[in-house]
Amino acid sequence: MNAVTAQCLEMQPMTEDDLGEVMNIEFLVCPFPWGRGNFKDSMDSGYVCRVFRLEGKLIGYFVVMPVVDEAHLLSISVSPKQQGKGYGSQVLREVFNAARELGAEKVLLEVRPSNTNALALYQSFGFKQIGRRRDYYPAIGGREDALVLTCGTEEVAA
């Protein structure tokens, strides 16, 4: 970990008060972003929703839906200004901690094949492709498939 990433992120449950900052990041990193209602519905449904702050500034978040013995990672993002500094790994590690707290045996997610940075991060954690969802994501000029990835929670250290 380099000197920049040695800084500890402060993790907190996502609240409605965070949604303005969450939406700012969401619109910067996602070509077809979730709406404010998606995040509010996730919180209201009891999903694990966390935000991460660096020196008080929100720089990332995730949303995890518990499903029987797995944790479905629905959303994860790090502010573009903070990408490439190791914070994505810290946030993803917390996804696994949350999954273990839920009693999940694995984490499941979908990712765009075109999102090569996210795909590389997931693969570095040991995620393996188990499927493909055809035309899953909206895309400019049509639709884009989703790669379905999974990784066992015991495979990633706390």
Token couple for 37? 């209602």
The answer to whether 113 and 85 have CB atoms below 8 angstroms apart is: no
pLDDT above 90 (res 1): no
- CA–CA dist 78, 51 (Å, integer): 10
Beta-bridge partners for 60 = 52, 78
- CA–CA dist 129, 108 (Å, integer): 10
CATH 3.40.630.30 is the classification of domain 10-155: yes
- Dump pLDDT digits (tens) for 130-155: 999 999 999 989 999 999 999 999 98
Q: Which amino acid is at 51?
A: V
Q: Which residues are catalytic?
A: 110, 122
The answer to whether 77 and 61 have CB atoms below 8 angstroms apart is: yes
Q: What is the pTM of this model?
A: 0.93
- Structural domain boundaries in the chain: 10-155
> Other CB atoms closer than 10 Å to residue 61's CB: what's the count?
25
- Coil vs helix vs strand at 74: strand
Range 67-103 burial, b when 16+ CB lie within 10 A, else e: eeebbbbbbbbbbeebbebbbbebbbebbbbbbbebe
Residue partners of 112: CB distance under 8 A and separation at least 6: 118, 137, 139, 144, 145, 146, 147
- Dump pLDDT digits (tens) for 65-75: 999 999 999 99
Which pLDDT score, from 0 to 100, does residue 8 have? Answer: 83
Which pLDDT score, from 0 to 100, does residue 158 have? Answer: 72
